[in-house]
């Protein structure tokens, strides 16, 4: 559809910008609390918070405090919380068996949150890197990241999370074939209502650094993840990956990182019309928060502008560490 407009002066675009009322009437996109998923970090202990140095304002929380965080999120209207564990080094192994331990940090937190705040959706991360002594998302043998053997592990991990009560599984590993394998296993085990939000287009990005600090994977990682995460130069490949995952049983798809890949978000939404999400990753958060703390930008305005960009690009929602701040601003009418 080609936009049609009269010539100046019959057309003056400033007319619809002249007042808050006119701007509201002509606004094309909106941001609501219901668009937010809040990623939170877990740690061992009771009553424990651990600041993440590279993510100002973000902390790891023990399970009891994550439950309180979920209660606060639900009170603000945030529909979902996503769990990421900080696994102690002594628990990390090459075979990653802690990943499907029914009593690992994530599974304990799922059960605790669903018992206390049943109305909030709990999303999980399905990848081996928090549990892997090599820091990779898959099993490593002789320097190679194994695909099919990793998928078998991911299925076990996904089933353990579903058994614990997870509402949404987020496979973030980028192994080929994992969505179909997980979906088939969920159906066979009676978990037909568990949703999959696939990290379908996840790029091998430099913006993940602070996150790896938060989950304790930075020091463990040997090499890089370029053999299984996407080349940042590629766009058409993202569409092929999204199509594959939707065909295999993903209910929703994600583009990661977010702001540097808004073009991919737009292409995915326009091509498939499926529920499409972006992850405003740790590096994006750290840049905005760091600049705000230094007084270089207005923190709240830049946060809200960045989140609106995802909606404008076609996203149905966004995973963001700003979720609580954004929800408070939206509810106060500042968005």
Residue pair 126/195 in contact by the 8 Å Cβ criterion: no
Helices 178-188 and 148-164 meet at what angle, rounded to 10?
40
Distance CA(335)–CA(328), nearest Å, equals 9
Instruction: Report the Cα 237 to chain-centroid distance in Å.
Output: 20
Distance CA(125)–CA(40), nearest Å, equals 11
Q: Active-site residue numbers?
A: 202, 256
Residue pair 62/48 in contact by the 8 Å Cβ criterion: yes
Give yes or no for a cis peptide into 51 (omega within 30° of 0).
Answer: no
Contacts of 290 (CB under 8 A, 6+ apart): 56
Nearest to 87 by CA among 136, 134, 129, 140: 129
Residue pair 67/116 in contact by the 8 Å Cβ criterion: yes
Please state, in angstroms and as integers, the Cα–Cα distance from residue 299 to each residue in 30, 215, 287, following that order: 19, 25, 11
DSSP code string of 66-104: HHHHHHHHHHHT--EEEEEE---GGG-BSS-GGGG-TTS
Provide the CB-side half-sphere exposure for 90 (13 A, CA). 1
Provide the residue count of the chain. Answer: 335
């Amino acid at each position: 559809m080609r936009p049609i407009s009269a010539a100046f002066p019959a057309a003056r675009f400033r007319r619809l910008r002249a007042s808050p009322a006119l701007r509201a009437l002509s606004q094309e996109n909106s941001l609501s609390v219901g668009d937010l998923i809040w990623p939170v970090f877990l740690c061992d202990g009771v009553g424990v918070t651990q600041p993440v140095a590279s993510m100002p304002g973000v902390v790891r929380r023990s399970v009891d405090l994550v439950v309180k965080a979920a209660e606060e999120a639900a009170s603000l209207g945030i529909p979902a919380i996503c769990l990421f564990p900080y696994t102690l080094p002594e628990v990390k192994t090459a075979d990653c068996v802690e990943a499907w331990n029914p009593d690992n940090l994530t599974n304990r937190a799922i059960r605790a949150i669903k018992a206390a705040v049943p109305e909030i959706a709990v999303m999980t991360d399905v990848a081996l890197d928090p549990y892997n002594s090599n820091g990779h998302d898959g099993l490593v043998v002789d320097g190679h990241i194994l695909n099919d053997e990793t998928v078998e592990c991911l299925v076990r991990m996904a089933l353990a999370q579903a058994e614990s009560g997870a509402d949404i599984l987020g496979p973030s590993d980028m192994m080929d074939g994992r969505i179909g394998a997980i979906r088939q296993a969920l159906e066979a085990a009676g978990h037909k209502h568990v949703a999959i939000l696939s990290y379908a287009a996840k790029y091998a990005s430099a913006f993940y650094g602070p996150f790896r600090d938060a989950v304790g994977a930075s020091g463990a990682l040997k090499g890089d993840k370029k053999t299984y995460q996407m080349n940042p130069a590629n766009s058409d490949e993202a569409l092929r990956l999204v199509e594959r995952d939707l065909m295999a049983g993903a209910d929703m798809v994600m583009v990661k990182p977010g702001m540097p890949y808004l073009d991919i978000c737009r292409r995915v939404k326009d091509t498939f019309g499926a529920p499409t999400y972006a992850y405003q990753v740790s590096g994006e958060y750290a840049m905005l928060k760091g600049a705000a703390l230094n007084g270089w930008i207005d923190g709240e305005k830049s946060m809200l502008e960045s989140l609106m960009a995802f909606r404008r690009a076609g996203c149905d929602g966004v995973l963001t560490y700003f979720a609580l701040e954004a929800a408070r601003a939206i509810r106060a009418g500042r968005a």
